Structure 1
């Protein structure tokens, strides 16, 4: 055999002890798929392909795949798709976060094990994009992200609807007896009516924007609606861009740097984006040895304005954001704050991108930096005796009247306890109390679900209470809203202070001071600590991935990644 170039089907040969035989055998089997000898000699763009009957966000992926392939073929390479795990946010038990790391392993190993010279990452639904970026960062093959795009909105009467902030808004009305079962049933069928991710600035759209801000996806592609023709044109352009990476490789480790991560954090704060993005960005950056201390988030938050008027923070939807100018308009407003020398997958720097002529901007949706919606960023980290390693509050989606407050704790020891008691008419709770949920963190049996959006007890919601302080070691959907303190670290199951809180304790929240404190003296806390029984699961009683997860998952401030997936020294 004379073909000794290490690319395309000759890349990473199966080892039979005879390289020429390995290549001969591989091409023999590849030819059974109908490839000509010319095609068998081309460089390969792999396409990590994630459709699933359990992932409504990705139901348009077959059409997108054809567009990616078209772009690859037209640019002179061979496209080869391969399946990986797909994570449909609402279809997974106990929570999609538990399987993000599994998808990242799948992505990393299939990129590394199979013969490809570059890879297109097709993802969208909340955890798929971070999983793919994590896997691609670890494999460090030239890679480019292509996202699903958001849903278009629907209508109910005179109201415009979009998943999933409106899902929560109408469910709150239903719980408060403002609408009946028949009406909530009608609304249920009109909240999510097209392919694509949630129609608001939830986790999926936040991560799409952060992928673009990092430089891992093509400029202007984060916000294109899933069903818009531009989404297919973006897919075709992404395929062509992947081919350009073959001639002039740009690897994830060159794109995802401390400077580009800082840019992404600025964008997150300006978007008033999802709290989940802190966990995901920390995990992605961590794969390349880049730490994101929560103190860094606060430093950036103090000098980054909120610019985007989208639900759940504002009033508009992702399709409005796209037509208003998209992420490019946000980046231009943030330009004085950004690291402009960061390399992107196009081979250009961020600064070179922003030097291009700008499209018109709709200021009702994207504010100028001179007249921002809020002068400081949408997220803030809190520290104190209740959260020694930090907690997160999405202040842009919270009630400012609750930011400086002391309250009595009403404790729920688990999700089961919450479900059993929250609507009990005898529950001793007022609107001035702080609801506290324990044992919902990453190593708990629940696996850190999006349960931090604790429901307002029916006895209060029926009287018009719309918000109150809620505290937990859980997460919250990026589509949710309220004065909700999340990701309390260390978690309760690990023996963190959150696990020592008892109903009747006083807690002080101060957003101005970035603090959350349990007002219980150290003597009493020491007594409780001595009597504490951890709720950690014993890995010896588990098997398979469940056991691996229990043994390896890290805390929220480390991105909930696995210890074994961090880079080796």
Structure 2
């Protein structure tokens, strides 16, 4: 077993490096073993990361037991929930690339032999997987697990989104402020990633389906003892990957990426998967575009349903068998020979799981719907693509048309919704919120939750060049590309224009003649950028469009 760490730790020329390690208590025995980096996004800011210090200790135990030496460093991680609905949300997606860059820098600067990635939440998980694919070292992803849900509120087990829905109900006079405070106190009873199938839990499931996490580990709740057992097993597994010479790009392949899309579609995962999976593919040097994504989703049945598509939460999904059971059920669609961090194939990992048939996980022959949870739309309003989530949309809203109500920012739209300016039948258009225009492509989470709370979720549609939270439901279409800031057609929509959404036919059309659109295009001028300094300014200049995964290109 040839260790790259020994290139900078062998005596006598690298004795100085051994001295640096010894100053922190490492022994000669430690420094002769595989040096395993642990990229830990622990903090006391993010509920999904609050337990990662404890998880890390279990990973270290496994690494030492298997004959490796753990070396830990910190990684940033911002909380989408705390950042929602204000200026902070513009910073969330850009952290994904900072996370990938920072892990690359630390691993390469110190020449670790392998990397363990500890994270749980929305942009942290894909950022870490992007780093793994870019570095192409033995790598494994370990998440902290979802939180338990709160008491039943509004007919389903409560979670953090219950609050914003409650604000809408408070506005309508359906609940009191005292009731809202009770919801605030009880909806998130433990640490962990939010208990619905938002982007955080979607991407943790995607990591497992991609083969980058241990089988069955993605949805173990944060407070269960099995979470620490899985962490310890992951520590042993990473040392084994080093010994066997299995690197990230042997796992993150075209086959495993397709498996990940299939799984995300089969469980009705977040629309943000359509942003992050192409970004991971880019780092793995795998050609993969939105047409590929839609082709896979269209041919994958919706096997599992949970909040926001149904009342059960991800803990119920876990108790029903979780990711391995769904993968077993759709095995005929998967690349079963794909390698995983267990050093075994997908087929070997799922062979002992039983087929399900309950209210959360259905069978391949009798799914919830014949096509997957996500859909990619095209049309004159979205020439390059747009993304929606039929799994979270009432089927009666899969086709919808109405007059446009146009807003040039999320804040404008939220105020108008609360002021009662949006009426039944409208198509709310929120633009200049893409990767460049936002900048940072913020989520229109609050707008959709306000519409839900006001009873308009099944009466109004919302389209945007921004994106959505994985917990949103109602008729929504995001990721419209090209975005308004780049002169995409969404920039030319005017109040009263008719917009047609047809999810079954994968169409998004602005019902305005081409001659009129040419006139509007000729008269259009790009607005002054919202941000002219700092990292967001840099990001707005470098980020690709949403249909490219909003990546920052890092190779010729």
TM-score range, shorter chain: over 0.9
Q: Secondary structure at the match of 2:481?
A: coil
Q: Note if contact 1:448-1:475 (Cα within 8 Å) is conserved in structure 2.
A: yes
Q: CA deviation at 1:46?
A: 1.1
Q: Note if contact 1:65-1:235 (Cα within 8 Å) is conserved in structure 2.
A: yes
Q: Are positions 1:449 and 2:435 aligned together?
A: no
Residues in 1 aligned to 2:193 and 2:173: alpha-carbon distance in whole angstroms: 29
Q: Are positions 1:66 and 2:62 aligned together?
A: no
Match of 1:402 among 397, 405, 417: 397
Match of 1:490 among 469, 477, 482: 482
Residues in 2 aligned to 1:529 and 1:510: alpha-carbon distance in whole angstroms: 25
Q: Secondary structure at the match of 2:406?
A: strand
Q: CA deviation at 1:511?
A: 1.5
Q: CA deviation at 1:192?
A: 1.4
Q: Note if contact 1:201-1:310 (Cα within 8 Å) is conserved in structure 2.
A: yes
Could you say which residue in structure 2 is the equivalent of 1:552?
Answer: 542
Residues in 2 aligned to 1:252 and 1:71: alpha-carbon distance in whole angstroms: 20
Q: Note if contact 1:202-1:477 (Cα within 8 Å) is conserved in structure 2.
A: yes
Residues in 1 aligned to 2:446 and 2:165: alpha-carbon distance in whole angstroms: 12
Q: CA deviation at 1:164?
A: 3.6
Residues in 2 aligned to 1:345 and 1:101: alpha-carbon distance in whole angstroms: 24
What pairs up with 1:167-566 in 2 under 5 angstroms?
A: 167-355=163-351, 357-359=352-354, 361=356, 363-425=358-420, 427=421, 429-451=422-444, 454-455=447-448, 466-535=458-527, 537=529, 541-543=532-534, 545-563=535-553, 565=554
1:440-462 deviation line (CA, Å, top 9, x unaligned): 1110144211116624878x965
Residues in 1 aligned to 2:405 and 2:445: alpha-carbon distance in whole angstroms: 14
Q: Secondary structure at the match of 2:238?
A: helix
Residues in 1 aligned to 2:76 and 2:8: alpha-carbon distance in whole angstroms: 23
Q: Note if contact 1:324-1:366 (Cα within 8 Å) is conserved in structure 2.
A: yes
Q: CA deviation at 1:42?
A: 1.5
Q: Secondary structure at the match of 2:447?
A: coil
Q: Note if contact 1:164-1:198 (Cα within 8 Å) is conserved in structure 2.
A: yes
Residues in 1 aligned to 2:34 and 2:402: alpha-carbon distance in whole angstroms: 63
Q: CA deviation at 1:156?
A: 5.5
Q: Secondary structure at the match of 1:195?
A: coil
Structure 2: unaligned runs, 5 residues or longer: none
Q: Note if contact 1:138-1:288 (Cα within 8 Å) is conserved in structure 2.
A: yes
Q: Note if contact 1:162-1:198 (Cα within 8 Å) is conserved in structure 2.
A: no
Q: CA deviation at 1:291?
A: 3.2
Residues in 1 aligned to 2:249 and 2:118: alpha-carbon distance in whole angstroms: 19
Q: CA deviation at 1:288?
A: 1.9
Q: CA deviation at 1:354?
A: 2.6
CA distance change for structure 1 residues 50 and 462 in 2, over 3 Å: closer, same or farther?
Answer: closer
Q: CA deviation at 1:536?
A: 5.4
Could you say which residue in structure 2 is the equivalent of 1:36?
Answer: 27
Q: Are positions 1:109 and 2:105 aligned together?
A: yes
Q: Note if contact 2:356-2:363 (Cα within 8 Å) is conserved in structure 1.
A: no
Match of 1:85 among 73, 76, 95: 76
Residues in 2 aligned to 1:462 and 1:225: alpha-carbon distance in whole angstroms: 32
Residues in 1 aligned to 2:143 and 2:71: alpha-carbon distance in whole angstroms: 18
Q: CA deviation at 1:380?
A: 0.7
Match of 1:23 among 14, 25, 46: 14
1:70-121 deviation line (CA, Å, top 9, x unaligned): 1011111111111122222234413411211111111122122213211110
CA distance change for structure 1 residues 205 and 456 in 2, over 3 Å: closer, same or farther?
Answer: closer
CA distance change for structure 1 residues 372 and 168 in 2, over 3 Å: closer, same or farther?
Answer: farther
Residues in 2 aligned to 1:99 and 1:363: alpha-carbon distance in whole angstroms: 38
Residue correspondences, number? 551
State which drifts further: 449-458 or 522-531: 449-458
Residues in 2 aligned to 1:64 and 1:328: alpha-carbon distance in whole angstroms: 22
Residues in 1 aligned to 2:358 and 2:195: alpha-carbon distance in whole angstroms: 19
CA distance change for structure 1 residues 247 and 290 in 2, over 3 Å: closer, same or farther?
Answer: same
Q: Note if contact 1:9-1:26 (Cα within 8 Å) is conserved in structure 2.
A: no
Q: Are positions 1:75 and 2:70 aligned together?
A: no
Q: Note if contact 2:35-2:69 (Cα within 8 Å) is conserved in structure 1.
A: yes
State which drifts further: 274-283 or 181-190: 181-190
Q: Note if contact 1:142-1:250 (Cα within 8 Å) is conserved in structure 2.
A: yes
